[in-house]
Structure 1
Amino acid sequence: MTQHLHQIRGTVFCENKGICGVVVSDGKNCVQTDKQGNYSLNIDNESRFVFISTPSGYLTEIKENTIPLFYKPIDRSADKNYNFHLKKNPHDDLNHVFFAQADVQAIRPENLETYHTFLNDYQEELASYRNTDIFGIDCGDITGDNAQLFPPYIEAIKSLNIPVYRAIGNHDMDYNGRSFETSQHSFESFFGPTCYSFNKGKVHYIILNNNFYIGREFYYIGYIDEKTFQWLEKDLSFLEEGTPLVIVMHIPTRLTEKQQPFQFDYNTLADQTVNAEAFHQLIKDHPTHIISGHMHYNLNICYNDKLMEHNTAAICGTWWCSDICLDGTPRGYGIYQVNGNQLIWKYKCIGKPDNYQARVYLPGASKEFPQAIIANVWNWDKLWKVEWMEDGKLMGEMTQYTAYDPLAEKMCQEAVQTYSWIAPVKTNHLFKAIPQNPQAQISVKITDRFGHEYIQSAQDFSSFFLQYQK
């Protein structure tokens, strides 16, 4: 089929002065602005937006307090310029901070009323970073298959008053079309393109759509299509060698460090990106952090020295049935502090202090290890150390193992009454130890990969159940 090309042009400027070298795209082709900030771009009849990769040191205009206007819908009925007005960032974005949330997944309006109260937690946390460039990342599934809830979500999150860059989730798609290409229209009408990039300091941020709707009922797979690959190749071509990347997508690329044998079943196809190896290969020359959601649990995977993925637990917990997720992680969000090209991160539990980094059960909580103390350390990776203490004395490192979190098992039994398909998932961030003195005061000392230490006292199972029961 013949593609009819149409040329659009415009200027990117700040304070009436053109900005040179800004990357402009229609989601397929990419060009850079010239010395005067001008560009011209050939688009075809499939292009819906023209957008910029916002350069470091600048901010776009925003609407509704959180939606960055880095894009403009293409109007083929008029011959006009597509100009972008930027403003200088009042902060030095070489050092910046962002939060990352996943799976608000509002099913009904009252969910957003509760979510609105969670934003007080965000506000308190972000207040500690005054005089810093701050923005948000949303890993998708803003709603639970209900585009009518986009407006109340936008109204709820207004109070943050910072840019929030959003990825589309599978539950944000339109399922009533005949193809993948029709699945994005509702989301785009509120938030713009589903694949785009921007820059902060030394870091290049990329938002991708890896939810591939197969054109029947509500089924989808995790998949990056060729159009996205080609756009991504062009986007990366403008970067200096070794530029750090932060890539945001809804569905994880993988759920294990090593690629597993392929299985042709729906859960395998829908819970990870089936062509992740090609994607990993494309970004291999850049130190990269991938931030994803979708799974309703927390998991950090270090693929190699350059590539790490942070699968972020759900803000909605167990689909608004419980304050915890399927692996026992309390609902919360990630906080990422960027200093030059270095990232430091932590997981912030809603309604809990910053140092709440584990749940520690006294003996009796685990059916498998009834004599053991159990620690669920939700943001753990292999560079963390988990030790136990008796009456304040260090006794040694705990043993990492994979199983169900005791509280998650109990909460999912309760949640099944609402949704029959809910079930706990096994997690690898559990630790156990047999206390030498069961009568001692038991606590756990956690040291994260950045040297931060946290001490959490052990409690009996019933106290946790009463605390988290909804």
Structure 2
Amino acid sequence: MEKRRSFLKNIALLGTALSAPTIVFADTKSFISPAVKDRLVKGKVDDHRKGLSGIQVTDGFSIVTTDDKGSFSLETDPRAEFIYLSTPAGYEFNQESGIAQFYKPISAKDFNFSIRKLSKDDNEHMFVVWADPQVQTDADAQNILTQAGPDLAKLKSSYPEGTLIHGICAGDIVWDQFRLFKDYKKSIGQSGIPFFQVIGNHDMDLDVRTDDLSAATFKQNFGPSYYSYNRGKIHYVALDDVFFLGTGRRYIGYFTENQLSWLEQDLKHVSPGTTIVLTVHIPTNTGQKRRYELKDDDIANVVANREQLYKLLKPYQSYILSGHTHFNEHIVEGNRHEIVHGAICGAWWSGEICYDGTPKGYGVYEVKGNELSWYYKGVGKEKTHQIRVYDRNNKAKPGQVVANVWNWDSSWEISWKEDGVMKGAMTQFSGKDPMAIDLYEGNVRPVEQPWVEPILTDHLFYVNPSATAKSVEVNAKDRFGNLYSEGITL
């Protein structure tokens, strides 16, 4: 088996990635050339045959809105592959076997879209984020079908009947084995939740010349690789930030000009101050450069031109949701909050935890109006499972008691008790999770993926109990006031 390249190794970028040239059309009202006329598509968006006005329709390059009869006319770009909607708030997400359906291929005979109004207000709703199912073998397919899929179905059933819930997969749906897309579809189909997908580096076609062609198989299965939709007061966006360099398996985190230009148009329809939830595969940023004292970013693991995205998002409260790294992390800067998600597959289906100690699992988000709250749900674990505590014999800080609070951000409060007596705050440090060291450190383990290694993470804490201490209890209060605790007998 080919070894996965190290997450900490910088790759060299040779040459400059260029977007396709912009095509400019003459501004004329009296004449449309045959070539332009062939690119003119017309359609309608309706609800039970009643036309809906103000609905965004796009070819991925230009955006138009429907008129008061629900009709639209769009001059498509020669490179367009789909005509698709930004589903408006208050409407159902069309789906087919769990896959959200909001698009039609450019080869379609008609471009009429029917959507149905929800039977309830959608200002309160929820969504889940699966990152990196990474299905490579039939055994992996069985894991996602017997573990992740049923866990999601159980989560859904734990909420009141009729709760509005949808899913987002943040990429690396499979591990280069496109035949296994069908098993991913079956796994999400177990819950009946409509899912939107983002392309990952392992979902790309690697036998093509350039990045422009690398999403062909993904698009055949899931539609456009960038798009938007609305639910309640939240505007959702999905982007493709995996740029294939056209050789081997090499790629970088990068937004093409086509996408940024499209996003700029999309956001013109969104009022400043709105909450935006944007999903990508590669994180726009992580703390790995700081933790490993690297001179430069690893541009295969963060987005090289992220500042251009940040400029577009500046007028909004934005949440950037990502995966790719198989670790959990929060980066909060002003009104922008990035959440890097642990993987559904953990350490590539070779252990119960990711290599930062985060349980294999997914993010669960609850929305009320403009506000989001969230927690991390370990597969097979209760939602209260948010801490793991290690005794003095751990390999991360021998002699100390260590806690891993994997969904921690700087607004959390982490404290501890010794023998039932409150002692105050724990000390945060960057290090390796003790369980990850035991499971993954060394070139012979885990057996399934021996190249997996534990990594440095910031969500670790330690204390030095007294020599006579019999027990330690770790308490965590998250940014929403939820309390979690986990204890250990010494």
TM-score normalised to structure 2 length: 0.89
Please give the root-mean-square deviation of Cα atoms over the aligned residues, in Å: 2.1
Distance 2:445 2:142 in 1: 20
244, 250, 253: which is aligned to 1:222?
A: 253
Q: Identity over aligned residues, as a percent?
A: 38
Distance 1:44 1:16 in 2: 28
* Structure 2 equivalent of residue 138 of structure 1: 169
105, 124, 128: which is aligned to 1:73?
A: 105
* Structure 1 equivalent of residue 418 of structure 2: 390
Deviation string for 1:168-225 (max 9, x for gaps)? Answer: 1010000000000110000000000000000011100000000000100111000001
361, 385, 394: which is aligned to 1:332?
A: 361
Report the CA distance between 1:125 and its aligned residue. 1.6
Distance 1:262 1:11 in 2: 55
* Aligned amino acid, residue 163 of structure 1: P
202, 205, 214: which is aligned to 2:236?
A: 205
Deviation string for 1:15-61 (max 9, x for gaps)? Answer: 11011110000100000111111101011221000000000001242
| Superposed counterparts of 1:360-379, under 5 Å | 360-367=389-396, 369-379=397-407
57, 68, 76: which is aligned to 1:24?
A: 57
Cα distance 1:455–1:260, how it changes in 2: closer, same or farther (>3 A)?
Answer: closer
SS of 2:376 mapped into structure 1? strand
Cα distance 1:60–1:84, how it changes in 2: closer, same or farther (>3 A)?
Answer: farther
Report the CA distance between 1:90 and its aligned residue. 2.3
SS of 1:374 mapped into structure 2? strand
| Superposed counterparts of 1:46-445, under 5 Å | 46-64=79-97, 66-75=98-107, 80-117=109-146, 118-130=148-160, 131-256=162-287, 268-304=298-334, 306-367=335-396, 369-413=397-441, 415-445=445-475
Distance 2:439 2:395 in 1: 14
* Aligned amino acid, residue 86 of structure 2: S
Aligned residue pairs total 453
* Aligned amino acid, residue 125 of structure 1: L
Report the CA distance between 1:160 and its aligned residue. 1.2
TM-score normalised to structure 1 length: 0.92
* Contact 1:92/1:133, CA 8 A, preserved across alignment: no
Cα distance 1:299–1:398, how it changes in 2: closer, same or farther (>3 A)?
Answer: same
Cα distance 1:100–1:379, how it changes in 2: closer, same or farther (>3 A)?
Answer: same
Report the CA distance between 1:326 and its aligned residue. 1.0
Report the CA distance between 1:155 and its aligned residue. 2.0
Distance 2:287 2:135 in 1: 29
* Structure 2 equivalent of residue 453 of structure 1: 483
Distance 2:172 2:489 in 1: 34
* Structure 2 equivalent of residue 11 of structure 1: 44
Cα distance 1:411–1:262, how it changes in 2: closer, same or farther (>3 A)?
Answer: closer
* Aligned amino acid, residue 230 of structure 2: N
Report the CA distance between 1:129 and its aligned residue. 2.3
* Contact 1:257/1:303, CA 8 A, preserved across alignment: no
* Structure 2 equivalent of residue 463 of structure 1: none
Cα distance 1:184–1:393, how it changes in 2: closer, same or farther (>3 A)?
Answer: same
Cα distance 1:409–1:7, how it changes in 2: closer, same or farther (>3 A)?
Answer: same
Cα distance 1:92–1:434, how it changes in 2: closer, same or farther (>3 A)?
Answer: same
Distance 1:23 1:134 in 2: 22
* Aligned amino acid, residue 472 of structure 2: I
Cα distance 1:298–1:238, how it changes in 2: closer, same or farther (>3 A)?
Answer: same
Distance 2:341 2:422 in 1: 31
Cα distance 1:297–1:239, how it changes in 2: closer, same or farther (>3 A)?
Answer: same
SS of 2:249 mapped into structure 1? coil
* Contact 1:258/1:303, CA 8 A, preserved across alignment: no
* Aligned amino acid, residue 70 of structure 1: F
Cα distance 1:45–1:418, how it changes in 2: closer, same or farther (>3 A)?
Answer: same
Report the CA distance between 1:459 and its aligned residue. 6.1
Distance 2:221 2:308 in 1: 31
* Contact 1:360/1:376, CA 8 A, preserved across alignment: yes
Distance 1:336 1:220 in 2: 30
Distance 1:398 1:442 in 2: 11
Q: Which runs of 5+ in 2 are unaligned?
A: 1-20, 25-34
Distance 2:155 2:200 in 1: 26
* Contact 1:113/1:156, CA 8 A, preserved across alignment: no
* Contact 1:336/1:344, CA 8 A, preserved across alignment: yes
Report the CA distance between 1:420 and its aligned residue. 4.3
Distance 1:151 1:124 in 2: 21
Deviation string for 1:348-383 (max 9, x for gaps)? Answer: 11111111101000111135x322110000000001
Report the CA distance between 1:338 and its aligned residue. 0.4
* Structure 1 equivalent of residue 10 of structure 2: none
